[in-house]
Amino acid sequence: MSIDFTALAQKYGTPLYVYDFDVISENYRKLKEAFAGHKSLIAYAVKANSNLSVLKHLGELGAGADCVSIGEVRRARTAGIAPYRIIFSGVGKRDEEIEQALREEILMLNLESEAEMERVEAIAKTLGKEARISIRVNPDVDPKTHPYISTGLHENKFGVAIETAKRMYIRAKNSDWLDPVGIHFHIGSQLTELEPIREAAQIVADLVRSLAAIGVEIRFFDVGGGLGVVYDEETTIDLAQYAETITTAIRGLDLTIVCEPGRYLVANAGWLLTRVLYEKRNGDKRFVIVDAAMNDLLRPSLYKAYHRIEPLFDGSDRGEASPADIVGPICESGDWLGKEVALPPTRSGDLLLIHSAGAYGFTMASNYNTRGRAAEVTCEGGACRLIRKRESFEDQIRLETEPLEEKQ
């Protein structure tokens, strides 16, 4: 559908996150279809966009959830995603988180160290519940992406080496309280090349074969997330080739393929809508100051990430377009959303649309500079609705009790 962003800005104010659930549905179906003919579970990486309505929408399409905190597990459950479709990953889980996850009877806990396995075993024993686990293997391949979102090399903190994983599986098999059902790898995010995935899948599939030979029967082959999307002019991985690469790696094995995409499902189904406050020049440099900032969309500041910025006004009668930095009101030089963006002269109130903001946009937002987080709206089948209110000043100070108590 074509979304009337101007009407949405008028109705809900700016900055505003806008999502298109029809695009999410389409993305989900394309990936699911790529795995047709094979048992598969698409466990959406909740961290990319954890709004309950987004989770409910994906859950209704058949998606499960890949979670990295008990908070995310609870979000998935609150949105109606069944426990047997939920995976709990992450390098550091607190005891209470492990306990709650075991009580929820989720599909599996994904473990990232021997120490963690010991904790899970002890807690499972106390609860009298066998823990279904998977182990995150670090296959030591270079995913060729941004170093901050690369995770599959030994120099990263994620997963365990093959030999350690083997030892852990044997230990788990011999435990009354651990049931090793899965194996997992995730080499990085925003991947645009298939080769590293092929390499990793083969390494991990070989491990599954050698485990089978010693009586450890793995049922879930979790290939992580990481499918790249187009922000600028990237060429992305072909889904049919992606699926084929994985099914080829596990040929002859009876495994359910689990994949955990975040960005692929939601990034290009979301936009951040912002209004121009003013323009200024410092010497030769032109700045357009807008009402969204790094607290709303951190990716440019944190990764120098590119997000296409589109003017939603007709500037044809205003003179030549020239390059401008699009910056927010925050007191940091790093507070920018776009560099050298060609724009005609702007006026206060003009709307700019920041593209590809559906993943790691709102979820990485903060209250820095006591700025309330943006509202979120979704559009589906031709109609748009509010799915999260704009955060008020009162919302922000709600948990700070001391000054209020002193007044009373």
The residues binding ligand LLP (CB under 6 A) are 45, 48, 66, 89, 149, 186, 189-190, 224-227, 260-264, 299, 359-360
What's the token pair of residue 47? Answer: 């961290």
Q: Of these residues, 259, 331, 379, 384, which one is catalytic?
A: 331
Task: Tell me whether residue 259 is one of the annotated catalytic residues.
Answer: no
Min dist CB 404 to ligand LLP, Å, is: 35
Min dist CB 69 to ligand LLP, Å, is: 12
Beta-ladder partners of 209: none
Strands 383-388 vs 285-290: parallel, antiparallel or unpaired: unpaired
Min dist CB 263 to ligand LLP, Å, is: 4
Residue placing its CB nearer to ligand LLP in the complex, 300 or 344: 300
DSSP code of residue 237: P
- 3-state class (DSSP) for residue 121: helix
Burial of residue 179 (number of CB atoms within 10 Å: 0-12, 13-18, 19+): middle
Rounded to whole angstroms, the Cα distance separating 17 from 353 reads: 10
What's the token pair of residue 120? Answer: 């899970």
DSSP code of residue 155: T
Rounded to whole angstroms, the Cα distance separating 356 from 266 reads: 8
Peptide bond into 311 cis (omega under 30): no
CB atoms within 10 A of CB 340: 11
Is the separation of the CB atoms in 170 and 216 below 8 Å? yes
In our burial notation (b when 16+ CB lie closer than 10 A, e otherwise), range 237-272 reads bebeebbebbbebbeeeebbbbbbbbbbbbbbbbbb
Min dist CB 272 to ligand LLP, Å, is: 13
Min dist CB 197 to ligand LLP, Å, is: 12
* Backbone angle region of 70, left / alpha / beta, with phi > 0 → left and psi within -120 to 50 → alpha: alpha
- 3-state class (DSSP) for residue 211: helix
Residues 6+ apart with CB under 8 A from 171: 114, 117, 178
What's the token pair of residue 405? Answer: 């108590």
What's the token pair of residue 371? Answer: 């700025």
Min dist CB 81 to ligand LLP, Å, is: 16
DSSP code of residue 40: E
Known catalytic residues are: 331
